[in-house]
Amino acid sequence: MGRRATDQRRAERSAELARRGTELADATLRGDRRALARLLTAVEDRSPVAESAMRRLYRKAGRAQLVGITGPPGSGKSTLVSALIGQLRGAGRSVAVVAVDPSSPITGGALLGDRVRMQSYAGDRDVFIRSMAARGHAGGLASTTGAAVAVLDAAGFDHVFIETVGTGQSEVEVAAAADTTVVLEAPEMGDEVQAIKAGLLEVADIVVVNKGDRPGALRTASQLRAMLSAAAPAAIDDRPRPKRPEVLVTTATTGEGVPELVAALERRRDAGAAGSAGPARLARAEAQVWAIATERLRARLHDRDHRDATEATLRQVADHEIDPYAGADRLLGEATET
């Protein structure tokens, strides 16, 4: 009896959350920016509200150009993104920015300078800037980012920038949420940093040497061109790599080189526009679907009916009483029983 009452309350609660998600989605599609902001919070919180909203919104997405912007700290990503916004707004385009900081996975937190940027476009409803904290593991971040990007795409923005700070694996996973990845470099970096950025260059479609007014910028650009032509990477992953990345030089603070970068983005947009989803979009769909599928499986293993058995199995593995393969088989068996 008590359990049935609890079940009913839970079902009511869940219907209420689904209704709220649908409402937020409809309001977002009508252009309501406050609803959009609230929906992104739900996505970030992985709330059930986000699921029903995504179910409503997702099929409207697929029109925006998704551009990842990444590079080491101090390379001027935020300034360059601001310059790109200015240029694109001048051409009548709408722009959304998702700024992700994966470097501090536990505390997360908004990016420095975002408040400033948001204020400078405060009156313009065709610019939308949002910081996302990196909660949970890298895979989770990639899937949350993917969902946020789909929401902004469905909301009708022409360009969605995904800006990440830091260096390494996380950027690569976040880059997977974009059609086109721009990697920034600052001029005159030491040898060690060169070694680190090899990993980043591998995901680059366009490499930008920013702070182009500094001595060494042109030399860095020609070094990068030499590196990239020596490496001439084959398609190691599933992302399309029709030719080696372009190397451009910008000075984001003055705007120099920014029109050329916008032109390069436009060329890639045109190239990617034809026909059915290419390998990058297919890989992204797979990542999103997979994240949801594993999340459901995990939720099932920790629900009221399975929790005790799951915990007992994990404890046996931790105590080295059974091996992890036997543990996995047992959990999968339990989760797929009906």
Question: Residue 137 CB, nearest distance to its own copies (Å)?
Answer: 7
Q: Sketch the per residue contact string, 270 through 289, with its own copies: x for CB under 8 A, - otherwise.
A: ------xx---xx-xxx-xx
Name the token pair of 108: 């997360």
**62 lies in the binding site for its own copies (CB under 8 A):** yes
**172 lies in the binding site for its own copies (CB under 8 A):** yes
Cα 22 to chain centroid distance, Å, stands at 23
230 vs 37: CA distance, rounded Å: 45
Judged by CB under 8 A, the stretch of 8-16, 87-95, 243-251, 324-332 that binds its own copies is 324-332
**44 lies in the binding site for its own copies (CB under 8 A):** no
**69 lies in the binding site for its own copies (CB under 8 A):** no
Among 11, 198, 226, 263, binds its own copies (CB under 8 A): 198
Total binding residues toward its own copies, as defined by CB under 8 A: 75
Q: Which is nearer to its own copies, 17 or 297 (CB)?
A: 297
Give the neighbor-by-neighbor strand order of the sheet with 246-249.
127-133, 95-101, 159-164, 65-70, 180-185, 206-209, 246-249
145 Cβ contact partners less than 8 Å away, ≥ 6 residues apart: 98, 100, 132, 162, 174, 177
Q: Which of residues 304-323 bind its own copies (CB under 8 A)?
A: 313-315, 317-323
80 vs 202: CA distance, rounded Å: 21
Among 91, 196, 263, 299, binds its own copies (CB under 8 A): 196
Q: Which is nearer to its own copies, 117 or 239 (CB)?
A: 239
User: What is the SS3 assignment for 74?
Assistant: coil
317 vs 151: CA distance, rounded Å: 40
232 vs 245: CA distance, rounded Å: 9
**21 lies in the binding site for its own copies (CB under 8 A):** no
Q: Which is nearer to its own copies, 196 or 263 (CB)?
A: 196
100 vs 77: CA distance, rounded Å: 12
**54 lies in the binding site for its own copies (CB under 8 A):** yes
**105 lies in the binding site for its own copies (CB under 8 A):** yes
Distance linking the first and last C-alpha atoms of the chain: 22
Name the token pair of 149: 């990007």
